[in-house]
Structure 1
Amino acid sequence: MAKNTHHPLALVRAARGMTGVDFARAIRAAAERRGLRSGTTKQRVYKWEADGVTPDRESQEYIAEVLGVPLEDVDVQSWPNWLPDVGVVPLGPDSTVPALREALRASMDRSRRTVLSAISGTALITLAGAWAATDAWPEVTERVQGKNIGADLVAVLEETSARLTALATQERQHTAALLDAHLATVTDLIAEGRYSPALRPRLHALAASLSQTVAWHRFDHGRHGEAGRYWIAGLHSAHASADHDMGAALLSDLAYQASWRNQPRTAARILERALTRTRHPAARSLLHLRLARALAAQGDRRATLRALSAAEHLLGVPTPDPVPAWCSWLSEADLAVDSGQSLNDLGEVRRAHQLIEEGQSLLPPSRDKTRGVFLAYRAKTHLDLGEPDLAAVTATQSLELAHRIGAPRCVELVQKLTPRFKAFADVEGVPELLAKAAA
């Protein structure tokens, strides 16, 4: 029987660079570690990868060991549904480089016109749970003989990456290839091990930060499979240097993506795990704010209000520690708008609209992309309040701003509203909006 290259086992095996022979050998080794024997061959692996052929219980346990899946997660009856998603490299003593290269490979796959699916909620929740329960491992990368890289090179990469990330949105849209190249370089440096112990946390911090930035670029352009893999790669990098706040940030971004994709239950479960280890008040404020959005989408009013109260309290808590760069933008404007979005989901439209309007007025001029998102939110609440003329004006402003600065996510938000506008085709401003949204 010919193998099925679309079977989950074939996909996860190929993602780890293992041939059928390699995989069979690894299964036999897993059996030997238990003092047992397995007769698995590449022919048997190919049969498993063909529809309808199910490994027995012992073989599934060996497969789990080879793939790094805990035995308690193996449900023999649901084969192959318990297999890990391609793209989710399990946290491990030396998992940073495989995770980074998996993300970089995702971009190469896109260039070859391969469509990458978003990673499942179950896989993300499992990864978040492993992060919350596991401490960082000491470095186990074998040192390569030869001259180490110097601190000057790392400093140049840090400075250049920071400057690229700090560009205005309309400029940053042109830097994707540069950021990808920086991340590939940092990945190679970590893999080669040619650096002093003092540079290790800086390289991992840089990999985490670059992964996060690249992920947001992919997310803004609707490439959710790639974005998820970069956020996961960043999580591995942050975990390697025991930066719990950064790890929580990356999990929070994965949760934000889940909410965007209408998976609020997944988002809430990820955020609950992320909150167990993050410590900075501003970081915790952002996570509670995103948790409120996920809870509101599920209609849990009491828990939503509790999360919003925590976010508001934590945002004002003084601390001697500097605010992490990844949440330094969080302000009263964001608190007001996200609170409004949460209340809107709970049916409190009038108060929601007031908060969103208030938040937009507080937003500094430098945050154009966020302004575009806020305008789209305002347009929605205008529609909810039965004000299609005002909604059309606001949505048009969002759309024009998004096109000017290159913010496709804002365009998507407005386009999602167009079916509702079609019922008001005779209202002033609506025909023009629909024409621009369809262009």
Structure 2
Amino acid sequence: MAIQVYSEGNPHDAVGLVRTAQDATARRTTPRVRSMLHARAARALSKTGDRTACWRELDAARTEYARGPHDDDPTWSSWLNPGEIEMLAGSSALDLDDPRRALTHFEQARHVQYAADGYARDHVLYLTRTARAHLQLSDLDAACAVATDAFTQNTTLNSSRPSDALDDLRAELAVHRHVRAVRDFLLLSA
């Protein structure tokens, strides 16, 4: 519910939802679930602009995850791994207008347990966010190279969430259509 609220509503409300879940489960859940809740709190906080609290929550997410798996971890929490935490950190940095930090986290995610094959939709979404970080740094060639990879992977996937993110990226790139790499990407993805 917090994801929907911070994506489409008031991120402060999303923070409240995650805090409620954290309070309700503090003594009754596994470190993996606590890690997931810290990561979700971080994403919500990134959308409110609270850098300090966001990074603190991400540190807590890493700490809880490092406590290891438990036999009673719910099956719905299996998606969380160190790579996913770093991808969420990168997305948070992007929301906080820190594209260099975003790229650092996206790169770290590729070096830990991030499985693009198992989560193709999320991988395309994160590639699109990586392209946005390059765009924010005015590295149009890198932005278009990553965007092309994301577009190519999404053509076989055909998922609406990454497609929407690619559409948004296309709109952001359109003002740079005089640059060959941008023009080529816009033609490819038209």
RMSD, matched Cα: 1.8
Cα distance in 1, alignment partners of residues 100 and 163 from structure 2: 25
Match of 1:423 among 159, 175, 180: 175
Deviation at 1:434, TM superposition (A): 2.2
The structure 1 segments of at least 4 consecutive aligned residues displaced by more than 4 Å after TM superposition are: none
Deviation at 1:358, TM superposition (A): 2.3
Q: Calculate the TM-score normalised by the size of structure 1.
A: 0.40
Letter in 1 for 2:173: F
Cα distance in 1, alignment partners of residues 52 and 104 from structure 2: 21
Match of 2:107 among 357, 371, 390: 357
For structure 1, the 5+ residue unaligned runs are 1-253
Cα distance in 1, alignment partners of residues 103 and 70 from structure 2: 35
Cα distance in 1, alignment partners of residues 90 and 2 from structure 2: 19
Correspondence 1:33-182 to 2 at 5 A: none
Match of 2:139 among 369, 375, 387: 387
Cα distance in 1, alignment partners of residues 184 and 72 from structure 2: 47
| Residue deviations 1:167-225 (CA, integer Å, cap 9, x gap) | xxxxxxxxxxxxxxxxxxxxxxxxxxxxxxxxxxxxxxxxxxxxxxxxxxxxxxxxxxx
Match of 1:402 among 133, 154, 160: 154
Letter in 2 for 1:340: G
| Residue deviations 1:36-78 (CA, integer Å, cap 9, x gap) | xxxxxxxxxxxxxxxxxxxxxxxxxxxxxxxxxxxxxxxxxxx
Contact 2:11/2:44, CA 8 A, preserved across alignment: yes
Cα distance in 2, alignment partners of residues 361 and 404 from structure 1: 25
Structure number with bigger Rg: 1
Correspondence 1:268-283 to 2 at 5 A: 268-278=15-25, 279-283=29-33
Contact 1:402/1:408, CA 8 A, preserved across alignment: no
Match of 2:92 among 328, 331, 342: 342
Cα distance change on mapping 1:385 and 1:358 into 2, 3 Å: same
Report the secondary structure of 1:307's partner residue.
Answer: helix
Cα distance in 2, alignment partners of residues 349 and 319 from structure 1: 32
| Residue deviations 1:72-131 (CA, integer Å, cap 9, x gap) | xxxxxxxxxxxxxxxxxxxxxxxxxxxxxxxxxxxxxxxxxxxxxxxxxxxxxxxxxxxx
Report the secondary structure of 1:343's partner residue.
Answer: helix
Partner of 2:60: 310
What is the percent sequence identity of the aligned residues?
29
Match of 2:122 among 351, 365, 370: 370
**Larger relative contact order (Cα-Cα within 8 Å, sequence gap ≥ 6):** 2
Q: Which has the higher helix share?
A: 2
Cα distance change on mapping 1:409 and 1:320 into 2, 3 Å: closer
Deviation at 1:262, TM superposition (A): 5.0
Partner of 2:73: 323
Contact 1:357/1:378, CA 8 A, preserved across alignment: no
For structure 2, the 5+ residue unaligned runs are none
Cα distance in 2, alignment partners of residues 333 and 325 from structure 1: 18
Report the secondary structure of 2:178's partner residue.
Answer: coil
Correspondence 1:177-192 to 2 at 5 A: none
Cα distance in 2, alignment partners of residues 261 and 294 from structure 1: 11
Partner of 1:82: none
Q: Calculate the TM-score normalised by the size of structure 2.
A: 0.88
Contact 1:392/1:430, CA 8 A, preserved across alignment: yes
Partner of 1:259: 6
Cα distance in 1, alignment partners of residues 151 and 42 from structure 2: 27
Cα distance change on mapping 1:294 and 1:397 into 2, 3 Å: same
Deviation at 1:287, TM superposition (A): 1.3
